[in-house]
């Protein structure tokens, strides 16, 4: 089910603020961005390839899934086999910003290593 427009706009504003925290002077080396994939939002990093500097590599660091029936968001992390798992200790939240703050804190190093 699609993300309601109001929820989508709130998430976009929060994600833009998060992505803009990468200092301008290093954005050619590291960029944070996001994309919508059905009812998910993928937050990813984009960096130049280590050998072919003209090519960029993307790595999805977190996934946020909207559940329309509950009106809440779930945070997911990816393991080394690129399998997605719900983030333990932080159940579904109605406020998207709570989940984004958890990614930003990254106390366990699970998102940004």
Q: What is the pLDDT of residues 23-58, one digit of tens each?
A: 999 998 999 999 999 889 999 999 998 888 788 899
**Position 113 in a domain:** no
**Position 111 in a domain:** no
pTM (predicted TM-score): 0.91
**Position 45 in a domain:** yes
Residue 32 to residues 1, 74, 108, Cα–Cα distance (Å): 26, 20, 19
- Note whether 86 and 75 are within 8 A (CB): yes
Domain that holds residue 35: 5-105
Strand partners, 44: 33, 60
**Position 76 in a domain:** yes
CA angle 66, 31, 4 (to 5 degrees): 20
Tokens of 95: 């406020």
**Number of structural domains found in the chain:** 1
Helix 5-19 × helix 96-105 angle, to 10°: 20
Q: What is the pLDDT of residues 1-19, one digit of tens each?
A: 689 999 999 999 999 999 9
**Position 110 in a domain:** no
CB atoms within 10 A of CB 5: 8
Helix (H), strand (E) counts: the chain = 2, 5
């Amino acid at each position: 089910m699609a993300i309601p427009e109001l929820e989508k706009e709130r998430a976009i504003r929060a994600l833009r603020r998060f992505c803009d925290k990468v200092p301008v002077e290093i954005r050619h080396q590291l960029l944070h961005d996001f994309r919508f994939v059905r009812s998910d939002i993928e937050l990813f990093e984009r960096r130049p390839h280590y050998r072919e500097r003209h090519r960029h590599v993307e790595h999805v660091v977190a996934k946020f899934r909207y559940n329309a029936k509950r009106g809440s968001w779930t945070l997911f992390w990816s393991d080394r086999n690129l399998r997605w798992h719900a983030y333990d200790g932080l159940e579904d939240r109605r406020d998207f910003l709570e989940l984004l703050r958890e990614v930003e804190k990254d106390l366990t190093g699970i998102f940004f290593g």
